Amino acid sequence: MKQIISALIMVALAGFFSCKKSTTSTGGGGGTTEDTTTVKPQVDPTTANTIGFFLDDWQAKSFTAPSSFQPSSVPAAAGVTVTIDRSVVITKIPRSLASDNSNLWMGQIVTESSLMDHITTLHPHIIRFPGGSISDVFFWNALKDQKPADAPDQLVQDNGTSTAAGYWYGKNAENWTFSVENYYNMLQQTGNTGMIVVNYGYARYGTGPNPAAAAAHLAADWVRFDNGRTKYWEIGNENYGNWEAGYRINTANNKDGQPEFLTGQLYGQHFKIFADSMRKAANEIGKTIYLGAVTSESAPQTWWSNTAKGWNSGLFTAAGNAPDFHIVHNYYTPFQTNADADVILNTPITETATMTDYVKAQITGAGLTQKPIAMTEWNITSQGQMQQVSNINGLHAVMVIGESLKNKLGMTARWDMANGWSNGNDHGLFNQGDEPDGVPKWNPRPAYYHMYFFKKYLGDRLVSSSSSNANVISYASSFTSGETGVALVNKGSTAATVEVNIKNFKKGSKFYFYTLTGGTDNGSFSRKVLVNGATTTYASGGPANYKDILPYSASTTSGIRVSIPARSAVYLVVTKQ
């Protein structure tokens, strides 16, 4: 009898468990009852070599549900499905994922309260200085017009002509430029840290007996002065380019036998000289620094100069494993063409992967240790319809950051905070005061708002996600506090309704979201952005009260579904159970 009763109990239990759902939770699905038992836990992967020490200051993030929100309904059906597996961690997210560039023509911005507030709010984490090509003619510790005695009055251009050197000076206190002192003040005010580009060009055009040693000594003195405030240092900027100071020199003025044209081999040799001096300086003051080498990010083209074609092979042969990280720049779209929205929005996925794969293959092919990769400048060069100041460029910015995370780059720094209007061909994240139509100085461009809301609802780990539609791009993340964040970019020309299914996640009762879309001005390239329907009265930018706009909120009971207008984005967080 006991055996019969036991058998009946076992059959009943088997029947009970066979009626249970899968041991993972979908997070959506039209109101079906979801499993509340086993959830596969997250396991952090080994830190990728291409990220490395950029994760040293990683911080866990907690999501706090808003006390007020705008109620929203859930669409009845969806044509696109985004599937997330929260248990599959691609990478912990470095704080340097969305850094930015300052430059020397921004002005002494530390008294510009509105700009300081925007920078503090966005918190790029790393702000690069003193800029791009200017770095190679910048003397950080010099007063205005007081260049070193061994810096020539004229520099040789690519075509062989000589022109006035046009040096820049770190102690220039005039209001139109940005001094070293105020760069540090800006970092302190906004709670960010720095990345400094030292003057490599001086190692080439200097007329002293050992120009490379003189330039390295100047850089080492900056390390001492910096006294540990800055960890990340770049030696030069785009030095493979014929536009850079020092690319071509007057050999009659050179005293250590350097060739007329720079090569990757010579740069690599000089890199070691800089590294020795700068690391010695850091050791003297008991600080840790990381040094980056200028690296070509794409395969040589037939029209490139010999310097550019042989840059990486020469650099890797001469410098070996001396660099702590490798520097790449990418301006994504076909150079200065009038690209349409489709062309622009297709570049982040293809170009980021191609660039990363190429650099990794180059390094391993040279038999070197894979080091972190930092994309210290990026943007688009499309022009003719004010593409660079548009909502489309805001979507592009979010996709570049998302794809950089998926490809495990250590950091990215957008070029740049402020630039110049140039009929809308302006890389600046903010209006520097020269934008027409009565737009106020330091007014943020659409990219600012997209980056702000993307980061606001971005967790601390990137997790697996995929979309059933090629026009809807998803980036999913998890918060240490338990919630799941999702960025959805609709790069297509028609609206989409998206259902989000989340595996290995016990969803809570609500999700919160912001919808960002362009205005009706300027065709595809609106200069405006709407945040949950709110925008600006100016000709460009977004709502002034963007920090106070209430998110939409909807119940997860019948599924997690949102409608995304054409060429728009939704940034959402799903609460935990």
Q: Both tokens of residue 209?
A: 């007996």
Q: Which residue has the higher pLDDT, 132 or 36?
A: 132
Q: How far apart are CA 88 and CA 266, in angstroms?
A: 44
Q: How far apart are CA 133 and CA 147, in angstroms?
A: 17
Express as a percent the part of the chain with pLDDT over 90. 93
Q: Would the pLDDT of 304 be above 70?
A: yes
Q: How far apart are CA 402 and CA 396, in angstroms?
A: 10
Q: What is the mean pLDDT of the chain?
A: 94
Q: 405 near 458, Cβ under 8 Å? A: no
Q: Would the pLDDT of 27 be above 50?
A: no
For residue 8, the model assigns a pLDDT of 35
Using CA atoms, how far residue 332 sits from 300, 343, 347, 379, 550, in Å, is: 16, 10, 6, 7, 34
Buried b (16+ CB within 10 A) or exposed e, 60-92: ebebeeeeeeeebebbeebebbbbbbbbbbbbb
Confidence of residue 5 (pLDDT cuts 50, 70, 90): very low
Q: How far apart are CA 102 and CA 134, in angstroms?
A: 12
Q: Would the pLDDT of 344 be above 60?
A: yes
Q: pLDDT tens digit string along 165-211?
A: 999 999 999 999 999 999 999 999 999 999 999 999 999 999 999 99
For residue 34, the model assigns a pLDDT of 43
Confidence of residue 38 (pLDDT cuts 50, 70, 90): confident
For residue 446, the model assigns a pLDDT of 98
Q: pLDDT tens digit string along 464-515?
A: 999 999 999 999 999 999 999 999 999 999 999 999 999 999 999 999 999 9
Q: Would the pLDDT of 415 be above 80?
A: yes
List strand residue ranges (DSSP E) for 295-407, in order. Answer: 325-330, 373-378
β-pairing verdict for 162-164 and 168-169: unpaired
Q: For residue 130, say if its preceding peptide bond is cis, omega within 30 degrees of 0.
A: yes
CATH for 28-93+384-397+420-577, among 1.10.10.10, 2.60.40.420, 2.60.40.1180, 2.60.120.560? 2.60.40.1180
For residue 166, the model assigns a pLDDT of 98
For residue 37, the model assigns a pLDDT of 55
Confidence of residue 426 (pLDDT cuts 50, 70, 90): very high
Q: Would the pLDDT of 75 be above 90?
A: yes
CATH 2.60.40.1180 in the chain is located at 28-93+384-397+420-577
Q: 139 near 170, Cβ under 8 Å? A: yes
pTM: 0.94
Q: Among residues 503, 494, 501, 504, which one has the least CA distance to residue 470? A: 494
Say if residue 358 is exposed, middle or buried (CB neighbours under 10 Å; 0-12, 13-18, 19+).
middle
Confidence of residue 245 (pLDDT cuts 50, 70, 90): very high
For residue 311, the model assigns a pLDDT of 98
For residue 30, the model assigns a pLDDT of 41
Q: Would the pLDDT of 21 be above 60?
A: no
Orientation of helix 446-456 relative to helix 391-406, angle to 10°:
40
Q: Would the pLDDT of 9 be above 90?
A: no
Q: How far apart are CA 41 and CA 15, in angstroms?
A: 27
Q: How far apart are CA 500 and CA 193, in angstroms?
A: 36
